[in-house]
């Protein structure tokens, strides 16, 4: 099997199949210079492959992320949770198990901002920094749970 693409190889390793829809979708996000929503990808994909279903677009994007061929971008709008505001400029450290959150103000992005502005020409005016982990409580519970299981 000569000339297998990395995508073909990756799929085979995970016992997944290469289909026309998957190839078309990967091609689209490969060529894009901007982030695309599932609906946008669906519209573009149907030009090349009209019978493609939107469901398959969602499933394929999940697969591409899982296999590392695509990544998600988080945008400002929609799908939020809310926390009381205690500082003007706050970022959060959120427990991925229970949702508990600690606020922090330290964020030293100036050096990074300057570097990227000169590299890309963008005028950077905002940033989003969030850290995820396990809170002390959840760590304790998890340890107890693991001990019991042993």
114 within 8 A of 103, measured Cβ to Cβ: no
Q: Which of 18, 67, 101, 138 binds DNA (CB under 7 A)?
A: 18
Burial class (CB in 10 A: 0-12, 13-18, 19+), 134: middle
Q: Closest approach of Cβ 112 to DNA, in Å?
A: 28
CA-CA distances (angstroms) from residue 9 to 20, 35, 138? 15, 25, 39
CA distance 115 to 120: 9
Please report whether residue 36 would count as binding DNA according to CB under 7 A: no
Q: Are 34 and 49 in contact (CB under 8 A)?
A: no
In terms of CB distance, is 2 or 121 closer to a second copy? 121
Q: Build a one-symbol-per-residue string for 117-136: x at contacts with Zn ion by CB under 5 A, - elsewhere.
A: ------------------x-
30 binds DNA (CB under 7 A): no
Residue whose tokens read 């920094």: 129
Give me the 48-87 binding string for Mn ion, x by CB under 5 A, dash otherwise.
Answer: ----------------------------------------
Positions in the binding site for Mn ion (CB under 5 A): 107
Residues that bind Zn ion (CB under 5 A): 95, 97-98, 100, 135, 138
């Amino acid at each position: 099997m000569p000339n297998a693409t990395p995508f073909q190889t990756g799929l085979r390793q995970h016992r997944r199949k290469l289909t026309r829809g998957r190839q078309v979708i990967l091609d689209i996000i490969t060529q894009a210079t901007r982030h695309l929503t599932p609906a946008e990808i669906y519209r573009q994909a149907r030009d090349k492959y009209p019978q493609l279903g939107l469901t398959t677009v969602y499933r394929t994007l999940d697969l591409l992320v899982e296999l590392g061929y695509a990544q998600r971008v988080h945008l400002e709008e929609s799908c939020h949770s809310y926390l009381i505001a205690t500082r003007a400029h706050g970022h959060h450290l959120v427990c991925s198990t229970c949702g508990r959150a600690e606020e922090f103000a330290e964020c030293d992005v100036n050096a990074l901002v300057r570097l990227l502005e000169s590299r890309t020409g963008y005028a950077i005016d905002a940033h989003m920094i969030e850290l995820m982990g396990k809170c002390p409580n959840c760590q304790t519970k998890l340890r107890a749970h693991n001990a019991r299981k042993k």
